[in-house]
Structure 1
Amino acid sequence: MEAQKDFSWTFLQILRNLLTNPRSLQAGIIIFAGLFLADLLFRSFFKTFSDFLEGGDTEILWAEIDVGFAPILWLVFITLILGSLTIVISFAAEKVPKLIDLYMDHWPSLFFVWFTIALYVHALTIKLMAEMQMDVRPSLILNYNILLPLFMIIGFPFILSILYSTKTGKVIEQLFGSIQQVYLKLASIGPTGDLHPKKRLKWQIHLFETTNQLIDLLVYVPYKEPKAQIIEGLGDLLIEYLKWKKDFPVSFFEVTEDIREDISFKTLKGQFEDIEKDRVFYELKNFRVISNAFISFIEAGEFDLSTLCVDQVQRIGVQAVELKHDKMMDLVLIHLNTHLRFALKHGRFNNEPRNLYNLIFHYGKFVQSLIEHRDLPRVKTSYGHYLFYGQAIFEALLDAPSLAFILDTLATEMKKGLIKMYELHWDREHYFEQLKQFLLLDNLQNIDRGFAFNFFSKNHGIRLLHIGMALFFLENNEEEWARLIAKDTMQDYDLLGKETFHKTMNTIYARLQFSGPTFWEDTDRGNVNIYYSPHQNQINVFREIQNEYVGMQPKPAKVI
Structure 2
Amino acid sequence: MAPPKKPALASRAIQLSIPYQLHRGFLCFLNLRSLLAFLVVLTCVIGGDLLLDAILQHTDLEAGLLRTLYPVPNFQELEIDFAPEVWLALVGLSLGTLIIVISIAAQSIPKIVELYMQDWVSLVYIWFVILGSAQSIYIKFYRDTEILRASSIILNLYVFLPAFITFSFPYIYYVLKGIQPTVVIEKISRQNIKNIRRLTTPSNQALVGIESYREAYQLKLLESLNQLDSMLHFVSFKEPKAQIIQYISLAIREFIPCKSRMGTDFFRVGDVIRADISFKTLIDQFPLLERNHTFYEQKCFRILGNAYVYLLEESEFDLASLCASEMSKVGLAALSIQAEKLLNLIVIRFNTMLRFALKHGVKNNEARNLYNLAFHYRTFIEALVRHGQVASATQSFYYLRSYGNEIYAYGRTSPAMYFIVDVFAAEMKKILIQVYYQHWPLSTQRHLLEEMLQVDSPPEVDVSASKPRHLNHGVRALQIGLALFYLKVEQLEFVERIIADILEDLEILGEPAFRQAIAGICDRIRNAQPTFWEDTDRGTANLYYAPERDQLSRFCNLLEARLTSGGSSA
Count residues in correspondence: 536
TM-score scaled to structure 1, two decimals? 0.90
Q: For residue 345 of structure 1, what is the amino acid of its counterpart? A: K
- Which stretch has the larger CA shift, 154-163 or 434-443? 434-443
1:327 CA drift (Å): 1.8
Q: What is the root-mean-square deviation of aligned Cα atoms in Å?
A: 2.4
Taking the aligned partners of 1:29 and 1:444, their CA distance within structure 2 comes to 74
Identity %: 36
1:191 CA drift (Å): 7.5
**1:129 and 1:259, CA in 2 relative to 1: closer, same or farther beyond 3 A?**
farther
- What are the residue-to-residue correspondences of 1:122-521 with 2, within 5 Å? 122-127=135-140, 130=143, 132-189=145-202, 192-195=205-208, 196-449=210-463, 453-456=468-471, 459-521=472-534
Structure 1: give runs of 5+ residues left out of the alignment: 1-18
TM-score scaled to structure 2, two decimals? 0.88
1:41 maps to which of 47, 51, 62: 51
1:363 CA drift (Å): 0.6
Aligned residue for 1:417, secondary structure, equals helix
**1:246 and 1:122, CA in 2 relative to 1: closer, same or farther beyond 3 A?**
farther
Q: Provide Cα deviations, 1:413-449, integer angstroms capped at 9, x if missing partner.
A: 1111111111121222222221222222233212143
1:30 partnered with 2:40? yes
Q: For residue 232 of structure 2, what is the amino acid of its counterpart? A: L
**1:500 and 1:418, CA in 2 relative to 1: closer, same or farther beyond 3 A?**
same
CA contact (8 A) 2:91 2:129 kept: yes
1:113 CA drift (Å): 1.5
Taking the aligned partners of 1:531 and 1:59, their CA distance within structure 2 comes to 87
1:554 CA drift (Å): 6.1
CA contact (8 A) 1:74 1:123 kept: yes
Q: For residue 33 of structure 1, what is the amino acid of its counterpart? A: T
The equivalent residue for 1:536 is: 549
Aligned residue for 1:187, secondary structure, equals coil
Aligned residue for 1:522, secondary structure, equals strand
1:471 CA drift (Å): 0.8
**1:43 and 1:184, CA in 2 relative to 1: closer, same or farther beyond 3 A?**
farther
- Which stretch has the larger CA shift, 378-387 or 125-134? 125-134
1:182 CA drift (Å): 1.6
1:341 CA drift (Å): 0.7
Aligned residue for 2:544, secondary structure, equals coil
Structure 2: give runs of 5+ residues left out of the alignment: 1-28
**1:506 and 1:141, CA in 2 relative to 1: closer, same or farther beyond 3 A?**
same
Q: For residue 35 of structure 1, what is the amino acid of its counterpart? A: V
CA contact (8 A) 1:408 1:461 kept: yes
Aligned residue for 1:134, secondary structure, equals coil
**1:62 and 1:434, CA in 2 relative to 1: closer, same or farther beyond 3 A?**
same
CA contact (8 A) 1:234 1:286 kept: yes
Taking the aligned partners of 1:382 and 1:422, their CA distance within structure 2 comes to 17
CA contact (8 A) 1:191 1:249 kept: no
- What are the residue-to-residue correspondences of 1:49-128 with 2, within 5 Å? 50=61, 51=63, 52-55=65-68, 60-127=73-140
Taking the aligned partners of 2:149 and 2:138, their CA distance within structure 1 comes to 9
CA contact (8 A) 1:190 1:247 kept: no
CA contact (8 A) 2:110 2:230 kept: no
Q: For residue 162 of structure 2, what is the amino acid of its counterpart? A: P
Q: Provide Cα deviations, 1:55-114, integer angstroms capped at 9, x if missing partner.
A: 499663222224454344333322321221111111110112301101112221122112
CA contact (8 A) 1:340 1:356 kept: yes
Q: Provide Cα deviations, 1:120-176, integer angstroms capped at 9, x if missing partner.
A: 343344445545412511121122111211111111210122012212222222222
Taking the aligned partners of 1:97 and 1:489, their CA distance within structure 2 comes to 58
CA contact (8 A) 2:109 2:235 kept: no
**1:396 and 1:118, CA in 2 relative to 1: closer, same or farther beyond 3 A?**
same
Q: For residue 484 of structure 2, what is the amino acid of its counterpart? A: L
1:555 CA drift (Å): 9.8
The equivalent residue for 2:562 is: 549
**1:82 and 1:451, CA in 2 relative to 1: closer, same or farther beyond 3 A?**
farther
The equivalent residue for 1:15 is: none
The equivalent residue for 2:537 is: 524
CA contact (8 A) 1:103 1:109 kept: yes
CA contact (8 A) 2:406 2:458 kept: no
CA contact (8 A) 1:95 1:221 kept: yes
**1:408 and 1:73, CA in 2 relative to 1: closer, same or farther beyond 3 A?**
same
The equivalent residue for 1:4 is: none
CA contact (8 A) 1:239 1:319 kept: yes
Taking the aligned partners of 1:111 and 1:333, their CA distance within structure 2 comes to 49
**1:117 and 1:439, CA in 2 relative to 1: closer, same or farther beyond 3 A?**
same
Aligned residue for 1:117, secondary structure, equals helix
Aligned residue for 1:520, secondary structure, equals strand
Q: Provide Cα deviations, 1:176-229, integer angstroms capped at 9, x if missing partner.
A: 223223223323347743235444333322332232222222222222222222
Q: For residue 36 of structure 2, what is the amino acid of its counterpart? A: Q
Q: Provide Cα deviations, 1:292-334, integer angstroms capped at 9, x if missing partner.
A: 1111111222211211111121211121112212221111110
1:550 CA drift (Å): 0.9
- Which stretch has the larger CA shift, 159-168 or 330-339? 159-168
Q: For residue 74 of structure 2, what is the amino acid of its counterpart? A: L
Q: For residue 43 of structure 2, what is the amino acid of its counterpart? A: A
- Which stretch has the larger CA shift, 326-335 or 222-231? 222-231
Q: For residue 37 of structure 2, what is the amino acid of its counterpart? A: A
1:42 CA drift (Å): 2.1
